[in-house]
């Protein structure tokens, strides 16, 4: 099956994620959750990691011990969900040092086990999640029904309890206003596409998440297989439109995109939404061969220069305006270094 993924280039697929919803049998579910129950799930998870001899690999983060910026920084880096921050006195996260595995404890379910990898690596991400899944249930049984599968807080997750998703960069489909049609098309496949930051055609940075909508009545393997197929279709479509846009006006296209890079290299104030658009352009510049850079480095920059991440980095309660100035400063430095390495 991994053959299926191979041809999918990082030009479109930024990252792959598999998330499993699990609940322990002997602890109240979220709607009935209390402190005692919450401590129990956190303890189960922590003990499981220790029992597996992997506690040195993980950071245990109690949400109540973190500042608001530190929490939001984790969200910006896709390591936890916003929902984990609903009841910060109850929730925690076990995050592997290499960030490929994150176990959220006491989000909507007791456990949300996430495997996250750059590029098109859904199968590997699933392996990471299922490995952790086994580890976490060695000593404590999950709530599981022979007919329904894994039981979850919200019935939409019952069954496999799995959500697999790919994060896609779709600037050409966005620019040509095709995202509405795309949304309709993928929903017929039982999939959903949504803006990663902001909604619909105004998705910041033209970043979208494609994921399975249905968790019931299909095997995990089938779900991943159909997500890979849909990702491939979308990616091919995106690449074809990119090519068409360039063919139509090669110089104008390169000019528009490289001007964004130029602006980032010198701006003194860089608001978030502008930043996301210019970074989208820079990603496209690399994919189109207008400049050379590691796509992963660009994707990392896109996360690192989100508001909370900047505030944590500066260890300071910056206002939004100050944040925009620090972002501009960091960008100038990083883009400057990137550009000086061009040949």
Instruction: Extract the tokens encoding 150.
Output: 């894994």
Give the range of 192-200, 249-257, 295-303, 308-316 binding its own copies by CB under 8 A.
249-257
* Element housing 61 (H / E): strand 58-62
- The region of 114-122, 156-164, 230-238, 252-260 touching its own copies under the rule CB under 8 A is 252-260
Q: Which of residues 136-165 bind its own copies (CB under 8 A)?
A: none
Distance CA 243, CA 94 (A): 42
Print burial letters for 49-85: b (CB count within 10 Å at least 16), e (below 16).
beebeeeeebebbebeebeebebbbbbbbbbbbeebb
Stretch 304-333 residues interacting with its own copies (CB under 8 A): 325, 328
- According to the binding rule CB under 8 A, does residue 337 interact with its own copies? no
DSSP 8-state code for residue 214:
-
Calculated CA dihedral for residues 88, 94, 96, 99, nearest 10 degrees: -30
Q: Does 254 bind its own copies (CB under 8 A)?
A: yes
Compute the C-alpha angle 253/259/263, nearest 5°. Answer: 155
Other C-beta atoms closer than 10 Å to the C-beta of 268 total 9
* x/- letters, 263..282, toward its own copies (CB under 8 A): xxxxxxx-------------
Q: Which of 236, 252, 294, 333 binds its own copies (CB under 8 A)?
A: 252
By CB under 8 A, tell whether 343 contacts its own copies. no
Among 262, 273, 294, 333, interactor with its own copies by CB under 8 A:
262
x/- map, 197-236, its own copies, by CB under 8 A:
----------------------------------------
**Chosen residue from 259, 292, 294, 333 binding its own copies by CB under 8 A:** 259
Q: Say whether residue 251 binds its own copies (CB under 8 A).
A: yes
Four-point Cα dihedral 40, 45, 47, 48, nearest 10: 140
70 vs 254 by CB, closer to its own copies:
254
Q: How far is the CB of 254 from its own copies (least distance, A)?
A: 5
Query: How many residues of this chain interact with its own copies, rule: CB under 8 A?
Result: 18
Q: Is 186 in the site for its own copies (CB under 8 A)?
A: no
* DSSP structural state of residue 341: T
Q: Distance of alpha carbon 94 from its chain centroid, rounded?
A: 17
Q: How many helices (H) and strands (E) in the chain?
A: 12, 10
Report, in Å, the least distance between residue 256 CB and its own copies.
9
- List residues near its own copies by CB under 8 A: 251-252, 254-255, 258-259, 261-269, 325, 328, 340
């Amino acid at each position: 099956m991994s053959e299926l993924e191979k041809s999918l280039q990082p030009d479109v697929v930024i990252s792959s994620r598999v998330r499993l919803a699990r609940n322990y049998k002997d602890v109240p579910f979220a709607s009935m959750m209390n402190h005692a129950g919450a401590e129990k799930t956190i303890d189960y998870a922590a003990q499981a990691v220790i029992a597996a001899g992997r506690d040195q690999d993980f950071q245990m983060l109690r949400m109540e011990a973190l500042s608001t910026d530190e929490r939001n920084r984790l969200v910006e880096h896709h390591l936890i969900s916003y929902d984990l921050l609903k009841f910060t006195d109850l929730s925690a996260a076990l995050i592997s040092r290499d960030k490929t595995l994150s176990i959220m404890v006491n989000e909507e379910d007791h456990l949300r086990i996430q495997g996250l990898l750059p590029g098109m690596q859904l199968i590997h991400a699933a392996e990471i999640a299922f490995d952790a899944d086994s580890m976490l249930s060695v000593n404590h049984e999950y709530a599981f029904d022979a007919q329904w599968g894994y039981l979850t807080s919200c019935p939409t997750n019952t069954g496999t309890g799995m959500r697999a998703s790919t994060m896609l960069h779709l600037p050409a489909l966005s620019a040509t206003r095709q995202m509405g049609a795309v949304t309709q098309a993928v929903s017929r496949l039982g999939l959903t596409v949504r803006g990663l930051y902001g909604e619909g055609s105004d998705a910041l940075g033209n970043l979208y998440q494609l994921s399975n909508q249905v968790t019931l009545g299909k095997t995990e393997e089938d779900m991943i297989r159909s997500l890979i197929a849909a990702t491939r279709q979308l990616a091919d479509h995106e690449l074809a439109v990119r090519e068409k846009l360039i063919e139509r006006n090669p110089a104008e296209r390169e000019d528009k995109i490289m001007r964004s890079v130029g602006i980032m290299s010198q701006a003194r104030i860089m608001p978030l939404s502008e930043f996301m658009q210019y970074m989208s352009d820079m990603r496209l510049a690399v994919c189109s061969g207008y400049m050379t850079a590691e796509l992963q480095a660009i994707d990392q920059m896109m996360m690192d220069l989100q508001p909370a991440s900047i505030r944590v980095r500066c260890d300071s309660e910056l206002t939004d305006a100050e944040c925009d100035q620090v972002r501009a400063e960091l960008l100038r430095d990083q883009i400057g270094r990137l550009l000086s390495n061009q040949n």
